[in-house]
Structure 1
């Protein structure tokens, strides 16, 4: 399990992700349900639609990936869309196989 970051560690992590986004080397986002909403299936469906639309793949399930602030241990579903897949999808080119 990954230890929670403090505020400074979070800021550094987010800055690093932003730098990678600007360099075009990484993009990442997270969808969480609203307070009191069980949106797992809806959220996953929305992500899967985007992944399919941009030629990406479902890579698998990472069990016990994160400990939430309330102590719950949650799994993560991992999806990827490679830059070439995305660019081909938005530019109408061939999808890599």
Structure 2
């Protein structure tokens, strides 16, 4: 149902599974809380924390594989293409989660800190919007960010505006985050808005 590989101008998105993401590399990166990977900073506004065990990393990949097989989500490894700094390296994850009853998709992503500030979030979003609307015929795609995450807000606003979408507003007490529940902003792009913006 989902393509195993998607290429954009600067990125390669490969199906996230044990064949494309080495669990030891994944754990080394995701467990490096305050080291060179700065995962404490990466996960500051995420609903997950740096991994504590190798089993946690394995179970994450297992879960992505299960959701792919069940048609619930397309999870991808993000890698820069040739010509980009860090070409071929594991840069982070991207996903499109599907609610078939509502004909709606939800975007998600995270990137290692060294790959921030390159516009990869918007480029990945464009590829997954095309998947959602052109291949899966969904009616709507949504994306949220933690209310305090200004970096994500800027990136999301840029591509949502480019595809004709809108900010739907603040959802209070929406995202479980450690011991608290955080507010998030929600944005949506409809299939009609996407087509108007791309045709």
TM-score normalised by L of structure 2: 0.32
**Deviation of 1:52 (Å):** 0.4
Distance 1:63 1:34 in 2: 28
How large is the RMSD of aligned CA atoms in angstroms? 3.6
Instruction: Select the residue among 106, 115, 127 that pairs with 1:28.
Output: 106
What does residue 60 of structure 1 align with? 169
Higher helix residue share: 1
Report how many residues are paired: 79
Structure number with the bigger relative contact order (C-alpha 8 A, sep ≥ 6) is 1
Offset of residue 26 of structure 1 = 2.4
Partner of 1:85: 193
- 1:68-83 maps to which residues of 2 (within 5 A)? 68=177, 70-83=178-191
Q: Provide the residue aligned with 1:41 in structure 2.
A: 150
TM-superposed CA distance for 1:16, in Å, is: 2.5
Give secondary structure in 1 for the equivalent of 2:108: coil
Stretches of structure 2 lacking an aligned partner (at least 5 in a row): 1-59, 75-96, 114-147
Report the Cα distance in structure 2 between the residues aligned to 1:63 and 1:53, rounded to whole angstroms.
26
Match of 1:16 in 2: 72
Unaligned runs of 5+ in 1: 1-6, 92-97
Listed one character per residue, the Cα deviations across residues 34-81 of structure 1 (whole Å, up to 9, x for unaligned) are: 68xxx811111100011100000110000110222x212211111010
User: Partners of 2:197 and 2:186 in 1: how far apart?
Assistant: 20
